[in-house]
Amino acid sequence: MIQMYVQVLYPGIIVSDTLEYESHTRDPRKFEMPERAFGFRFFNKEVLEGSTGKVYGKPHDYSPWYYKGTVRTIEQVKEQEPYSVLNGYNRIVDTEFGQYIPLKDDDVVL
C-alpha cells in the first residue's frame, strides 16, 4: 500500500532538523505546519505488512518544498555575510529564524 507522508523542517544548530509524519493530504493549504517549523514537502512510501512488522520502501514522488518566510533576491542579501554560499541561486527565502534557504524554481513560499 502506498502511504503519504510529510517531511517537516525545523531550525537546527548547524543544519535544519527534519521529522516525518504520516499525512492524509498532499494539499499544502490543508496542512497545518507545526509550531517552530519553517518548511515542508510531501512524499510517498510503499508500506508492506511483513511477518515481523511493517516494511517501508524508499521515499518517492516528492512535492516541491513549501516554506514560511519572505522571498529575497540575492542582490537584497549581498551586503550580509555569508551570502557567498547562495551563489548560483536567483532567490532565497528568509525564515523567521534568520535562515536563508536557496529556492529552486518550483519551491513555494507561503
The reported pLDDT for the residue numbered 81 is 58
- Residue type, position 25, single letter: T
Q: What string of DSSP letters covers 18-54?
A: EEEEE-S---TTT--PPTT--EEEEEEEEEEEETTEE
| pLDDT 10s digits, 72-94 | 887 787 766 555 666 677 888 99
Return d(Cα 58, Cα 47) in angstroms, integer: 10
| pLDDT 10s digits, 21-44 | 999 999 999 999 999 999 999 999
Global pTM? 0.85
Return d(Cα 35, Cα 19) in angstroms, integer: 13
> Can you give the residue ranges of every domain in the chain?
2-66, 67-109
The reported pLDDT for the residue numbered 80 is 65
Lowest model confidence (mean pLDDT) among 6-10, 79-83, 94-98: 79-83
